[in-house]
Structures are given as structure tokens and as C-alpha cells.
Amino acid sequence: MEEIATNKNTGKPLETQEYFINMGPQHPSTHGVLRLLLTLEGEIIHNVEPHLGYIHRSIEKMCEKDSYTQIIHLTDRMDYLSSHMNNEAVSLAVEQGLEVEIPDRVKVIRTIISELTRLSSHQLWWGVFGMDLGAITSFLYGFRDREMIIDIFEETCGARLTMNYNVPGGLMFDIHPNFQKGTKAFVTHFKKKLPEYDQLLTENVIFELRTKGVGVLSKEDAISFGVTGPTGRASGFSNDIRKHNPYSAYTQVDFNEVLREEGDSYARYKVRIQEMWESMSIIEQLIDNIPEGDYKVKTKAVIKLPKGEYYQKVETARGEFGVYIISEGGKSPYRLKFRSPGFSNLSALNRMAKGAKIADLVVIMSTLDLVIPDIDR
């Protein structure tokens, strides 16, 4: 045993103090204005306390004064990397209340764009993950491939990130004539590039050292914290809404829910990489089979939902996104609640990061794939 150091003057044992560090609100690896209060002993983390509220914009409250068409564009600004899926969730919830039958064409297009959004989100995440690990080059490679998807979006619906392509009852416009061609070109391009991702990062020995066994989240913890999406699936928690509660055209396609058992950062990473392959296969199955038909069903100019409660969940790139609408029969909801995946996923951070090093925390945060506006709303 080592001797306890004493103060020379008083003879009392020297006091040790825990070391507090504020990570954020402005910090390169919190990807936004998240503030983490770290309790450290040297490099080892004893406690992580997330502090939220730096970009709270009270979107849920704003929804209470907006009409149902207007609400959709607000959801763009929550999880901006899965804006289409958020839009889709609100649209589906409203359509559920209106009891309209959605044309097949709309369903298929929505699904394709959802999967493209998921791909673009995962590409960005991959690039940023590499950057958090110190391999800055991956950032640019990820963005190169993402740019192709963003261009497809821009051509089809006019916006790159905050798309607002859904309206209750369908889509804002029909797809652009080049949509199918562009998507196919992208899939062929990305099928060549995705193995490069593996070669650059996944197989790298330093990368494996940094991620394997880091930030382990057990299946029980994943379930009790409500951790969904790729993060939950890496812990073996089967939670893919696309499989369990299929919506849009997910019933028509054949795909696997990617599951892994380890629950560490490497598993979370691999799940996302594997999901990119799955997304591409979904797109390939649908892209040539877009049925003819209307891109939208007629709805009243002012949509009023019948009195009642409506809930719709979708699988975004981060996990389960839910929209809960209480309507009093008016043209805007009485109360609207979003269940954002990032918030629940963040809650597991402390459990995962305890005992890890600062460098590990960065990895864990990155594999949680947090989008702060989604957490803060």
C-alpha cells in the first residue's frame, strides 16, 4: 500500500478534491450547445451530468397555435438530420385523425426519401465520428457522399436540409423526373464508397482499440432508459418501428433489423454501417416500383382534427420519434408532445460513461449520435 501524503505543516492527510469540468455549451465534441458537467479523477470520469436548455425554442408550445400544416415545418428544426421522418410522423398522425386513405405512390416515395434521409444522416454521423476520434479526413469523405443525397432532395423538393416535403394527405409536389435516375446513380456510387469507409476506419487497429468495449450499455439498461434506434439495437434491444409497427411502405419491402449483442461503441458503429446497406437495399427494392397515382389526397384548406388523441411513431435515424396530439376539434392541437429519441438516448450517457476516460466520453457521445435541437426542442 502506498502511504497517504500528509501536509508538512499540519500533519493532516492531504485532501483530495474531485475535479469538475464543464464540457460545453461550446465544445467541439458536443455537436451543439449541450453542456456536460463532468466529475473527474484525473482522466477518469466519475459522473456526467447533462445540462439542457441552451437552445430550447418551445416548439411544442408553438405547435399549439399553429395549424396542422404549419406544424410540419417546425419539426424540421428539431432533428434536422432526419427532417423528413419527423415531417412524416406528424403527417401520419394527422392523416390518422382525418381517416384519409393515402395513395400508394405517396407511401413509396415517403419511404424512399426516409431511407435517403437515414443514409445522409448516417453518412454525416460517420464523418463526424471519425473527426471526434481525430481522423479528420473521414469528415470530408462522409460529406462528399452526403452531398449527392442532398442534391437529390434539392432537386425534388427545393430544400436541402429542412425539407418540409410532407403535407397532411401526401406530399407537397410530385417527385422530379430526375429523382429515380439520381437515386439510382447515388446507390451505385455509394455501394462503391461504403467499403472504403470500412477500410479507412472500421478495420483500423487504432479505431478498434478506441471503440471496442467502450461505453457498454446492457440490454436491460437500454430498455429501462428507453434507448432506441441504432444505439438500442446495438445492445440487442429489438426496437425497429419499421419492423414492429410498419408504416408507409415498409410492409412491402424486405429488410433486416440490424441487431448486435455487445452494446459497446463498436457495436453501435457497426449497426449504423450495416443499416446503410439495409437502407440501400430498401431503396433498390422500391425505386423502380413507384406506383402511378396522385401525390396527394385533397384535404380541406383548414384541417380540423376530430376531438381525440392521436399517436404516431416512426423510426428516425436516431430512434423512435413519436408525435402525440390531443385535439379538441380545433384547427390547432390542444396539446402536442414529441417523443424525441435523442433525449432518451442521452439519459443513458451517465451509465455508459462512468469509469471511462475523457477520450472515451467523446466516443460514446458520438456513437449516441446526438442532435441537440432534437433533445432541447
Partner 1 sequence: MKAIVKYIISIISALRTLIKGMAITGHYISHPKEIITQQYPENRETLKMFDMFRGEVVLTHNEDNEHMCTGCSACEVVCPNGTIEIISKRIEMPDGKKKKVIDKFVYHLSMCTFCNLCILSCPTDAIKMSQDFEHAVFDRSQLTKVLNKPGSKLMEGVR
Partner 2 sequence: MNIYDFKNLTDSIHASLSVNLSPTAVTIIEFIIIASAFMILFTLLGLVLVYAERKIAAFFQLRLGPMRVGKWGIAQTAADAIKLILKEPLVTKNADKFLFNLAPFIIILSTFLALGAMPFAKGLHALDFDIGILYLTAVSSFGVIGILIAGWSSDNKYSLIGAMRSGAQVVSYELSVGLSLLTVVILAGSLQFSEIIASQETGWWIFRGHIPAMIAFIIFMIAGTAETGRGPFDLPEAESELTAGYHTEYSGLKFAFFFLAEFVNMFIIAGIGATVFLGGWMPFHIGNWEGFNKIMDFIPSLFWFFGKVAFLIFLMMWFKWTFPRLRIDQLLRLEWKYLLPINLVNILVMAFIVLMGWHF
Which among 62-70, 93-101, 250-258, 363-371 is the span making contact with partner 1, rule CB under 8 A?
62-70
Does 188 sit near partner 1 (CB under 8 A)? no
CB of 285 to partner 1, least distance (A): 26
Which residue lies nearer to partner 2 by CB, 27 or 219?
27
User: How many binding residues for partner 2 (CB under 8 A)?
Assistant: 31
Judged by beta carbon distances under 5 to 8 A according to partner kind, the member of partner 1, partner 2, none in contact with residue 157 is: partner 1
Which residue lies nearer to partner 1 by CB, 75 or 228?
75
The span from the first CA to the last CA of the chain, in angstroms, equals: 51
Does 58 sit near partner 1 (CB under 8 A)? no
Determine which residue in the list 73, 268, 270, 377 makes contact with partner 1, applying CB under 8 A: 73
What 3 state SS string does the chain have?
CCCCCECCCCCCECCCCCEEEEECCCCCCCCCCCEEEEEEECCEEEEEEEECCCCCCCHHHHHCCCCHHHHHHHHCCCCHHHHHHHHHHHHHHHHHHHCCCCCHHHHHHHHHHHHHHHHHHHHHHHHHHHHHHCCCHHHHHHHHHHHHHHHHHHHHHCCCCCCCCEECCEECCCCCCCHHHHHHHHHHHHHHHHHHHHHHHHCCHHHHHHHCCCCCCCHHHHHHHCCCHHHHHCCCCCCCHHHHCCCCCCCCCCCCCCCCCCCCHHHHHHHHHHHHHHHHHHHHHHHCCCCCCCCECCCCCCCCCCCEEEEEEEECCCCEEEEEEEECCCCCCCEEEEECHHHHHHHCHHHHHCCCEHHHHHHHHHHHCCCHHHHHC
Draw the binding track, 264-303, toward partner 1 (x: CB under 8 A; -: no contact): -------------------------------------x--
Judged by beta carbon distances under 5 to 8 A according to partner kind, the member of partner 2, partner 1, none in contact with residue 29 is: partner 2
**Which residues lie across from 327 on neighbouring strands?**
308
Determine which residue in the list 147, 262, 284, 294 makes contact with partner 1, applying CB under 8 A: 147
Which residue lies nearer to partner 1 by CB, 225 or 266?
266
Draw the binding track, 115-144, toward partner 2 (x: CB under 8 A; -: no contact): ---------------xxxxxxxx-xxx--x
Cβ–Cβ under 8 Å, residues 229 and 271:
no
Near partner 2 in 154-213, by CB under 8 A: 200-201, 204, 206-207, 209-210
Which residue lies nearer to partner 2 by CB, 212 or 351?
212
Judged by beta carbon distances under 5 to 8 A according to partner kind, the member of partner 2, partner 1, none in contact with residue 28 is: partner 2
Does 41 sit near partner 1 (CB under 8 A)? no
Q: Is 369 left (phi over 0), alpha (psi -120 to 50) or beta?
A: left
Determine which residue in the list 13, 53, 134, 158 makes contact with partner 1, applying CB under 8 A: 158
Which among 31-39, 67-75, 116-124, 347-355 is the span making contact with partner 1, rule CB under 8 A?
67-75
Q: Which residue has the cell 492531504?
A: 14
Which chain residues interact with partner 1 by CB under 8 A? 66-67, 69-70, 73-74, 77, 137, 140, 144, 147, 151, 154-159, 162, 164, 167, 172-173, 176, 196, 199-201, 203-206, 301
Q: Where does this chain bind partner 2 (CB under 8 A)? A: 19, 21, 27-29, 42-43, 130-137, 139-141, 144, 200-201, 204, 206-207, 209-210, 357-360, 362
